[in-house]
Structure 1
Amino acid sequence: MRNISHVKRLVDIDDEALAAARAALGTQTIKDTVNQALALAADSSSRVANLAAALDRLAQVDLSDEDRAAAWR
């Protein structure tokens, strides 16, 4: 049986987008760039959910005016 996690695919990739992604990700090969970009995209929904939860917790913090002033010192 063929390993599904490593199937070769023929795709058209925009060269400028690839170069920008390669620079942003610090990758050297097309394969590494595409795999890292896919992993980041797949993980983005959990990062967004974690950020939303953190912002919800922050919104529930009730600080007095003194506490707020002290936070800026």
Structure 2
Amino acid sequence: MGTNLALDDHLIAEAQAIGGARTKKAAVTEALEEYIRRRKQVRITELFGKIEYDPEYDYKKHRLRR
């Protein structure tokens, strides 16, 4: 999908240098992938303390079934 964006040339150049990307497209793609990963991590941390678990569950017992 072709998209035209007005991006800051200094930011793109810095992203390419830091990330080792050879092209602007590669730098932007990598930045978007990292952005998505980080946002997903934040969502996961928001679940801490909200998920109930069974205190009787024996995870070690289930490991040995393999």
**Band the TM-score falls in, shorter-chain normalisation:** 0.5 to 0.7
Structure 1 portions without partners, runs of 5+: 1-6, 57-73
Tell me the percent identity.
26
How far apart, in 1, do the equivalents of 2:29 and 2:42 lie? 20
| Alignment RMSD | 2.0
> 1:24 Cα shift?
1.7
Count of residues in correspondence between the two structures: 48
* TM-score (structure 2 length as normaliser): 0.59
> 1:19 Cα shift?
0.8
Name the amino acid aligned to 2:36. A
- Report the counterpart of residue 55 of structure 2 in structure 1: none
How far apart, in 1, do the equivalents of 2:16 and 2:38 lie? 18
Are 2:35 and 1:37 equivalent residues in the alignment?
A: no
How far apart, in 2, do the equivalents of 1:49 and 1:37 lie? 19
| Structure (1/2) with the larger helix percentage | 1
In the alignment, which of 6, 10, 19 is matched to residue 4 of structure 2? 10
How far apart, in 2, do the equivalents of 1:47 and 1:24 lie? 22
Structure 2 portions without partners, runs of 5+: 50-66
Q: Residues 1-73 of structure 1 correspond to what in structure 2 (within 5 A)?
A: 7-49=1-43, 52=45
